[in-house]
Amino acid sequence: MESEARLRLSPAQVRALAAEFGTPLYVLDEAHLRGRLQRYQAAFSAVHPRTELTYASKANSTLAVLRIAYQEGFQIDVASGGELAAALAAGVPASHCHLHGNNKQLAELEYAISAGIGMIVLDNEPEIATVARLNPSVPCVLRLAPGVDPVTHAKISTGQADTKFGFNIGDGSAERATKLALSLGLNLIGFHCHVGSQLLDPEAQRAGGEGITQFAVAMAERHGFVATYLNVGGGLGIRYTEEDVPMPVEDYCRLIVEAVTMAFHGTVLEGVELTLAQEPGRSCVGESGVTLYQVGVIKKVPAKDGQRTYVCVDGGLSDNPRPALYGSQYPVELVPAEDRSTWDYEVDGPGAAFGIPREQIVTISGKHCETDRLFPDVALPADVQVGDFIQVGCTGAYNASMASNYNRYPRPASVLVRTDGTFALVQRRETYEEVLMREQLPEGL
């Protein structure tokens, strides 16, 4: 069963993992991940007779994660030829994959169709024409922009009118695309939308689902097209901080289904056997992962308020770019390199009665040639030492998948904690040779 808590490794596990695999290190817990996937399946199927869940592999496309999602009954959402190749390598049939993307290249479409892709999410009119030419029998849906502006960071908001994704409903683009797809004989089965990510309020998702349902009704009335598939996308948030309180997935699924069902009620589509789909990613895998770092330099410098303490770790921007991109926050915990019986405990103050170590506010920084403030203004025990470990929660999503080789740093390894508690390497740490393997010097240079 899934724990309601975010994944948190024990100090013994942290030390053992660091000793065996080194740091920085991505760690995923198999039981936690499977529990989350199973809970999502149960919650969605309980409120609608025909449901489909598609794992958004951009969140974490490690082969082990893709295999687990497929084993738990998920389709796989792939947003590139590379993500499709990863799904195939993980043993997922192409027929269980959906191809996304706002600018799919011809080679990607040809690759996906030749592999037997299960569905293509069409994004623009030239793409409609291309798929009609390549293979009009492939099941397709149109991605719609329903004009919903969710409460989230602007860089992960995608459902508003001013977006690169999909066909706008309000300006008539979506209807023109529907007519074009039908006129070219495409195997159009329905519609799709995705309004944004890290949503803590379901109203934007409900509005998106209601919007594409109303559009489906309009297309049935005007053009006789009966949609049998609606995908309301993903976006449910996770608990990065104590202030982040996402809705329980059971309530979330119920409210999404209610919005779609109400929009169908009393229309020409009422009674149609509709498959309702979602595409969760972060909410499946985010809380099932942590990242481990080791403390190196500890430095005190002058600051506006007197003094700042930098605790520098052996990773940073290249293994987690989200703090620099979005100002993202994470739960952070110090794990001493060995059991310490000499913690600097409070002798008075609020923590004295509970044996809480004295704390200091520090900035945890990375080692890259940037400001690279991973986690500013976090509380750590005052006697943090070189060699201690930092455990960062909620890094199962958008960390391994966004990692780079900036400053020529090799990307970290990934380890899966199996259901029996053993550790399995699922991505080995890159070597310098692998970082440089694409390079070549021309003759005579």
pLDDT in tens, 108-167: 999 999 999 999 999 999 999 999 999 999 999 999 988 765 444 444 444 456 778 799
**Distance (Å, rounded) from C-alpha 292 to C-alpha 275?**
41
- The CATH number assigned to the domain with range 30-282 reads 3.20.20.10
Options 97, 193, 312, 369, the catalytic residue: 369
Lowest mean pLDDT among 35-39, 51-55, 368-372: 368-372
**Distance (Å, rounded) from C-alpha 213 to C-alpha 193?**
10
% of the chain surpassing 70 pLDDT: 92
pLDDT at 1: 32
**Distance (Å, rounded) from C-alpha 288 to C-alpha 275?**
28
DSSP 70: H
% of the chain surpassing 90 pLDDT: 80
If one counts every other C-beta atom within 10 angstroms of the C-beta of residue 375, the result is: 22
Q: Are 17 and 9 in contact (CB under 8 A)?
A: yes
Every domain of the chain and the residues it spans: 30-282
Is residue 344 scored above 80 in pLDDT? no
Q: Which two tokens stand for residue 362?
A: 């520090």
**Distance (Å, rounded) from C-alpha 99 to C-alpha 77?**
6
pLDDT at 78: 98
Is residue 353 scored above 50 in pLDDT? no
Nearest residue to 230 via CA among 245, 252, 215: 215
Check if 193 is active-site.
no
Q: Which secondary-structure segment (H or E) carries 301?
A: strand 289-303
**Distance (Å, rounded) from C-alpha 321 to C-alpha 403?**
7
Q: Are 211 and 174 in contact (CB under 8 A)?
A: no
Average confidence (pLDDT) over 371-375: 92
Q: How long a stretch of residues is the chain?
A: 445
Q: What is the pLDDT of residues 288-324, one digit of tens each?
A: 999 999 999 999 999 888 889 999 999 999 999 999 9
The mean of the pLDDT values for the chain is 91
**Distance (Å, rounded) from C-alpha 34 to C-alpha 15?**
25
DSSP 177: H
Which string of b and e fits 422-436 if b means at least 16 CB within 10 Å? Answer: eeeebbebbeeeeee
